Structure 1
Amino acid sequence: MITLEHINLVVDDIPATLEFYGSAFPHWKIRAEGDGDWYGKPRHWLHFGDDYQYLALSDHGEGSNRDLEGHQVGLAHFAFVVDNLDALIERLEQAGFAIAKDGADSPFRKNIYFIDPAGFEVEFVEYLTDIPTQRNA
């Protein structure tokens, strides 16, 4: 079995990013953090997650993220599977984050998209079936 351990995101505001992901995943915590240098530029970094998966965040970002409606090369979005999508949406909206776009209409899953404070599109998916062919339809 293969699992994704972490995603490394360069952002410009770690506290704002932590507010978003902390609202989405209230059981996650800061696992480690420190300061360093990245090719001549100082940065603060931290790992935010649980014992199995995490986001590696660094605060030395410059400029804007790619235009999500454009055609530039780069990250389009990443997704997390959740057990209760409605509860996650409620937590994010209570924290002031708006849904960016609705997901597909499917009898086998519910999904929704948010844009995090750094401009990354994040999909959250709740599967309504355990049958892989239905999940992937």
Structure 2
Amino acid sequence: MLHLEHINLVVKDIPKALKFYQAAFPHWKVRGGGKAEWYGKPRNWVHFGDDYQYISFNDDGVGENRDLKGHQVGLAHFAFVTNNISDVIQRLSQAGFEVDKDGAEDPYRKNVYYLDLDGYEVEFVEYLSDIPENRNRYE
């Protein structure tokens, strides 16, 4: 079996980036971090997550993220499953983040999209059925 262990994001400022993710994942923590060099440029890095999954942040980012309404090659978004999307929305709202766009109406799931402070689109989804045929519909 395979599962996703981590995502590695290049950001401009790690503490600013963590503000969004700490609100979304209050049970996660900074697992570790340090300093490194990436192709001649120094950077700080932090792993934020639990014992099994994490997000790696590297602070050597410059420029802007890709235009999410455009067609450039690159990351479009990534998603996390939650068992209570209302709680995620409330925590992010209290931290100053608002939903960027709602997901499609579906009887078997609720989902929303946010933009983090570096312009990454992050989806949160709550499935309302455990039946794979309901969860994985393509209509």
Q: TM-score range by the shorter chain?
A: over 0.9
Task: Give the C-alpha shift of residue 83 in structure 1.
Answer: 1.1
Equivalent pairs counted in the alignment come to 137
Superimposed CA distance per residue, residues 31-88 of structure 1 (whole angstroms, 9 cap, x where no aligned partner): 0100011100000001000011000000000110000001101000000001100000
Cα distance between partner residues in 1 of 2:51 and 2:72: 34
Match of 1:34 in 2: 34
What letter matches 2:75 in structure 1? Answer: L
> Is 1:105 aligned to 2:105, yes or no?
yes
Match of 2:85 in 1: 85
Cα distance between partner residues in 1 of 2:117 and 2:13: 8
Match of 1:61 in 2: 61
TM-score by length of 2: 0.97
Which 5+ residue runs of structure 1 have no aligned equivalent?
A: none
What letter matches 1:40 in structure 2? Answer: G
Cα distance between partner residues in 2 of 1:38 and 1:32: 18
Which 5+ residue runs of structure 2 have no aligned equivalent?
A: none
Counterpart secondary structure, 2:100: strand
TM-score by length of 1: 0.98
Q: CA RMSD in A?
A: 0.6
Match of 1:24 in 2: 24
Counterpart secondary structure, 1:99: coil
Match of 2:45 in 1: 45
Cα distance between partner residues in 2 of 1:60 and 1:42: 7
What's the % identity of the aligned pairs? 65
